[in-house]
Structure 1
């Protein structure tokens, strides 16, 4: 496993306990609310031979935490019948438990083991319940979205998809920008799942794309992380005042 460090001068902050339904929402076993350590362990269990990188952010006083991760899995032993998978993860900071708040998955099915688009969609309904909105493409694909609010475990009905989880702007961790964006869209997006099953006219699926993000709790999580970071920095500052070297001769 490769872990790189990125020094974040601005503290990342999150707080509060996620709603019960958030802890039950997962992609391939990696659930919202899981700690970074739990996600890494689960991914190693599911894809032991995959490549992956988890990036750590760092406070000025030295404390580190996992902010995001990327994975890649290719069956290179079968180039003519290859399965391909990519995943991305984004985590909150230490004050809120360094937990998973967003994930996306891109899975290209092995040509010899393609399921039907209908069976993939049926599995999604069994997992998440009836979607908030759904539709079909002209090429045989099926798309759907689930929006869960604070009221309960049943997805709210929508007239159209909301685009609450982007790809190019997928979060790299819980920073001030992500927290402000979530504050503006928390009520609109809630806990949001996006599914796109691509296929052909024969009814067989070629690719599965999934995204999920919990925007209900990011503002309070960010506040909790900020409070925790400030305590750590203040403690280090107080310690440094007593242990610092004398000023140089001027």
Structure 2
């Protein structure tokens, strides 16, 4: 049964070609720059029985936009062989198109259909190309990261992973806190993808954690959002000046 909390959001996974243009980077069709409506349509197609929500922010004059979203999917029909998926999304404001700039996916594989960690990593390479940096854990997992610049079709090489996408502070939208961090790290992080597939000693994958964020233009997007908000508020103020009730008798 589908349960709607506030409004709605989307889904993602691996697949595609290696030579990916930075502007077209996506995870299972959820591309950076997509609108909330586009994401909703894809999510409803992929997970029609899942729970989902959008959180909307509002200007003083009443205009609303989608700031962030999340999804939750548990295969309740198979409690002893359950697939579990949780996702998060963050969007810019109205002035910059209210577009997707960050997404995170956490997936726990169905116990009866677990792929190998190597096959999941191979799918990521097919999708994004050779990673900027990668490594393997002592418990059978594989981690990797991809960093793309504005015009680069292939990921830049790194000596070590960068802390470009936090977990506890995953963006709730394009706010002052997020844009302040982006101004400090935009050139370092660019478009950044974190990949972590965990598994067991037998080589089978148990869960996947992926995060993607585009920091290249967040400062400009934030300025465009603020400029648009000011125009809307000023227009509302002008209308109110003409139509407001008279002052009370003092």
Q: 1:140-219 counterparts in 2 under 5 A?
A: 140-219=140-219
Structure 1 position 116, deviation (Å): 0.4
Q: Distance in 1 between matches of 2:18 and 2:231?
A: 23
Q: 1:30 to 1:94 in 2, by over 3 A?
A: same
Structure 1 position 39, deviation (Å): 1.1
The Cα offsets for residues 188-230 of structure 1, whole Å up to 9 and x where unpaired, read as 1100000000001101000000000000010111111111111
The Cα offsets for residues 82-139 of structure 1, whole Å up to 9 and x where unpaired, read as 0000000000011111100000000000000000000000000000000000000001
The Cα offsets for residues 212-249 of structure 1, whole Å up to 9 and x where unpaired, read as 00000101111111111111111101000000111111
Unaligned segments of structure 1, at least 5 residues: none
The Cα offsets for residues 119-167 of structure 1, whole Å up to 9 and x where unpaired, read as 0000000000000000000010000000011241111111111121111
Contact 1:147–1:191, Cα closer than 8 Å, also in 2: yes
Q: 1:81 to 1:185 in 2, by over 3 A?
A: same
Contact 1:25–1:32, Cα closer than 8 Å, also in 2: yes
Q: 1:12 to 1:171 in 2, by over 3 A?
A: farther
Q: 1:1-250 counterparts in 2 under 5 A?
A: 21-250=21-250
Contact 1:129–1:155, Cα closer than 8 Å, also in 2: yes
Contact 1:13–1:95, Cα closer than 8 Å, also in 2: no
4+ runs deviating over 2 angstroms:
1-23
CA RMSD of aligned residues (A): 5.6
User: Number of paired residues?
Assistant: 250
Higher relative contact order (CA 8 A, sep 6+): 1
Q: 1:16 to 1:181 in 2, by over 3 A?
A: farther
Q: 1:18 to 1:114 in 2, by over 3 A?
A: closer
Contact 1:5–1:55, Cα closer than 8 Å, also in 2: no
Contact 1:13–1:174, Cα closer than 8 Å, also in 2: no
Structure 1 position 10, deviation (Å): 26
Unaligned segments of structure 2, at least 5 residues: none
Q: 1:24 to 1:89 in 2, by over 3 A?
A: same
TM-score (norm: length of structure 2): 0.91
User: Which shows bigger deviation, 28-37 or 182-191?
Assistant: 28-37
SS of the residue corresponding to residue 121 of structure 1 reads helix
Contact 2:147–2:189, Cα closer than 8 Å, also in 1: yes
Q: Distance in 1 between matches of 2:42 and 2:48?
A: 10
Contact 1:147–1:155, Cα closer than 8 Å, also in 2: yes
Contact 2:198–2:205, Cα closer than 8 Å, also in 1: yes
SS of the residue corresponding to residue 104 of structure 1 reads strand
TM-score (norm: length of structure 1): 0.91
Q: 1:100 to 1:217 in 2, by over 3 A?
A: same
